Chain A
Amino acid sequence: MSDNHQHHDHPTGIKRWLFTTNHKDIGTLYLWFSFTMLLIGGSFAMVIRAELMYPGMQLVDPNFFNMMTTLHGLVMVFGAIMPSTVGLANWCIPMMIGAPDMALPRMNNWSFWILPFAALMLLMPMFMGGNFMSGQGPAFGWTFYEPLSGQYNKLAFFVFAIHLLGISSIMGSINIIATILNMRAPGMTLMKMPLFVWTWLITAFLLIAVMPVLAGAVTMMLTDKYFGTSFFNAAGGGDPVLFQHVFWFFGHPEVYIMILPSFGIVSQIIPTFARKKLFGYASMVYATAAIAFLSFIVWAHHMFTVGMPVAGELYFTYATVMIAVPTAVKVFNWTATMWKGAMTFETPMLWAIAFVVLFTIGGFTGLMLGVATSDFQYQDTYFVVAHFHYVLVTGALFGVIGGVYYWLPKWTGNMYNEKLSKLHFWISAISVNVLFFPQHFIGLQGMPRRVPDYNPMFADWNFVSSIGGFVFGASQLLFLYIVISTIRGGAKATSQVWEGAEGLEWTVPSPAPYHTFENPPLIK
C-alpha cells in the first residue's frame, strides 16, 4: 500500500508511449493504431469504389487495382479489426475483473510495438519500383492463394509481415488468458465475468490455436519460393489445393476471432440501455464456446468448388448450417434482453441495435453461401463481398465503434457530443447499406469479385454502391473529430456514466485513474 505512490510517476512525452507497461496506455495505443489502419484500409477501399463507379478502366491499372483489393483486406483484417478489439481488451478487461493491470505488462508493450513494423513491412513494397502506379505490393487477394502468390517477387516482405502480426496476436492472447485466469478479484467467478471478458477469453484461445497454423502456411510459401520445397508446387509433387485447406483451417476461426469480441461488446451495451440484466447469460457463454468449437470443423465451405466429393460437400454444408443454432441463440438473447426493457437510445445503443439487425442479415446470406448447392452459383461473386462486409463492417466494426462510444466517457472523463455522434451513426448506418446492399443484387446477377472492369449491365448498382462508399468513408472522419473533441473537453462524465450500467469499470472515477484496483475490489 505504501509504495503505491511511486507507481504514479511515469515518463511523459514520447517515452511514456514507447516504454509504457500500463494496460490503459497500451489499450490507447492499440486503438489509435487500428484507427490509423482503418483510414489507410478505407482509403484503399475508396480507390476500389472510385474505379468501379463506372464500367471500363478509369483511374488505376489492373495490377494496382488488385493491390488495392489485397491490401484493403489485409489491412482491415490484421490492422484495423483485430488490433481494435485487442485495444478494447487491454483497456477494459483488467477493470472489468478487478485486476490492477495485465498479467505480463512488458510483453504487452512488445505485443503492441511489433504491430507498426509489421504494417510497415506489409505496405512498404507498394512504394518500391520506379512508378507508383505499377507498385510492387501484394496483388493476389487477401487470401493469398497459391500458386498465384508464389509468383510474387517480394513474397518475403509479405511472409515476415504475417509472421510478425501472428507473434503479436499470440503474445497478446497469452497475456489476456493469463490475466483472466489468474488475476480476477476474489469472488469474481468465471460465471460472474462480464460477457465481453468471456468472448475475449474464447477469442484468445482461438488465436493461439490458429495463428500458428497461418504462420506454418506462410512459412511453407516461403520455403517453396526460396528454398526449393514443394508443399504447394505441383512440379515437385505438391498441391495448391492443400494451401487452401491450410489457409482456411486458419481462416474460418479467424472470422470468429473478428466477430466474437463485438458479440461481447454488444452484450455489455444492450443490458445497460435496456435497463435489464442480459437475458440468458449462461446460454450466451455456452453459445460462444459452441461457435468457437464449430469454427474448427467447417473450413472447406470456403472452397466448395475445388472439386470435393459429394460426401465432403454434404458434411461441410451440415456442419456450417449447424453454426446458425448457437448464433441464433445469441441474437434471440439480445432481442429478449430488449423485450419490455426501459430502453433509451443513446449512441452506443444505436450502434448495438444496428449491429443486431445488420449482422443478422450477414448471417442469413452466410447460410445461403454455406449450402454447397447454392454456393456453386454465388461463389466468387459480389454476393460474397456483400455477405462478409455485412458481418465484418456492420458486424465487427459497428460493435467496436459502439464500444468506443460506450467506454469513451470512462476513458476520457468527458461525454461525447450526443448530437454529432447520432449524426455519425445515422450517416454511417444509412450509407453502409447503400454501399453494400446493392452488391447482393449485382452478385446474384453474376458480377465476379476482384475485377477492375465489368459488364455495363452492372453499372447502375455499382454507381449507387460507390456513392454509399464515399459517404460511409467520409463519415468516419466525423468519428475522428468526435473522438478528438471528446478527449479535449466536454461535459464531465460521472463514474457511473450510464444510468443502467453495471460492472466494476463503472465503480472507478471517470476518467479512469492511471492505476485502478491496486487493492482488489470486493465482489458480492
Chain B
Amino acid sequence: MLFNSLDFAIFLPLVFICYWFLFRWNLKAQNTLILLASYVFYGWWDWRFLSLIAFSTLIDYLIGIGLGKEENTYKRKLLLTISICINLGFLGFFKYYNFFLDNFIDAFQLLGVPFKASSLKIILPVGISFYTFQTMSYTIDVYRKKLIPTHDWIAFGAYVSFFPQLVAGPIERATNLLPQFSEKRVFDQNKAVDGLRQILWGLFKKMVIADNCAEYVNIIFNQSESLSGSILALGAVLFAFQIYGDFSGYSDIAIGTSRLFGFQLMQNFAFPYFSRDVAEFWRRWHISLSTWFRDYLYIPLGGSRSGLALSIRNTFIIFLVSGFWHGANWTFIIWGALNAVYFLPSLLLGKNRNNLDVVAQESRWPNLRELISMLFTFGLTSFAWIFFRAESMSHAWGYVQNMMQPSLFSIPDFHILEGVISLMVLIVIFILIEWNGRRRQYAIMDLAASRSRMFRWCMYLLIILAIDIFGNTSEEIEFIYFQF
C-alpha cells in the first residue's frame, strides 16, 4: 500500500479510529491492532512475503530470549551469528544473488574459463533491507546487553512490522522504538496535529517536488546521449531534488503517521542540502542508516580511533557497504566510493566535525562563505547522484562524458522540457520554505507556533491546493526507496 494512494487514505483513518476509540483502554489490543494493520499494509503489496517477515520476526524473537538467558560467551556469539546469517542470508539471496552470479560469470569469462549458470527470476520483497536491519539491531543490542530481550511477541512483531516505517524506514533501533510498545499511549491533541502537519508536508515533497522532477529526470536520463551538457547538469540537479523529496517525504509521512498513534520515530533527514561540507551532509542525510552503520559497523571496526590508515579504510568500507546496501549494481558502489573520496579531505584535515550546528544559526540568511560552501557541497552530491540514478556504469559514464562538454556552459534549451520553468519556480519556493524551517524537525513545524488559526489553516489549504494542482495525482508513483 502506498502512502500516496486512495487505499491508504481509507486505511489510515480506519486504523486510527479503531486504535483510539475501540482499543484505547487496552495496550495489548492496541499492539495487536498495529501488528494486524501492518501485515495488511504489507500484504496489500504481496501477501506471499508476509511469511518472510513473520519468519524473521520469530527467529529474532527466539534468539533474543536465548541471548537473555545464556551467559556463556561462545553460545551467545553462536546465537548472534545464527541471527545475522539468517537475516543477511535472506537479504543476500533476494537482493544480491543475481548480482554475484553475473559478476562471477563475467570474471570467469575474463580469465578465459567458460562458466555457465542461469540467473533466477527473483522478486525483491519491498523494504527487506529496512526491516532486516531493524531486526538485526535488536539482536545485536541484546547481545551487547544494551537491551533486555522482550517476552511480548505481539509487541516485538509490531516493532518489526510497524507499518508507518516498514518499507522505507526510518530504520528504528529497538532501544528507541520497542520500549514504546510497552508504554501506555495517551492521545495527545498536539502530537496528533503535529503528525498530520508532517504528513501533509511529506505528501507535498513527494507529489509536488519529487514526482514532477521525476518526469523531467526520466526524459533527460533516457536521452542523455543526445542532450547538451547544461541540460544534463540540470538533470542531475533535478534528480537531487527528486530523491530528496521522495525519500524525505516518505520519512515525514512515516514519522507523522507514527505520531498519530502516539509513537516518536527518529528524525531521518535534517535539511541535508544546507550542509557546508560532505561530512555534514552525511550527518543530515538518511540519518537512521548512517548512524546504523556507524554503531554496528564503523565503531566495531575501530572507527577513527585506530590510526589514520585504519580510519581511511573504515571510511571506505562504510561508504562502499552503504552504496551496496542501496542496490545490487556497480553504480551504487561507485556512488558510495565517490562519497568516500569526497569525505576523505575533511577526515585527513581533521575537519569532519567542523559544522555540527545549523547553518546561519543566528541569522536569517547565510553569509557568502556559507552560501558558497553549501553550493559546492550540493554540486558534489548532485554529481554523485548521477551514478545513483544511472541504469548501468556505461550509462553513468556516458552521461558524465556528455555533460563535461563546452555545452555545459550554454543556456539550456528549455523547449524540450516543456513546463520545467514552473517546476523550477516551485523548487525555489520549496527551498525557501525549507530554509525558513531548517532549525526544526521538518520545514513547516514552525506553523504550530503561529497563534492565528486562520493563518495556519490558510497555509494548510495552500499546501493541499498545491498538491492537488501541481501534484501528480493521476497515478500513484512508487517511492524510490521501495526498491531498496
A complexed with B: no
Which residues of B approach A to under 8 Å, CB–CB?
none
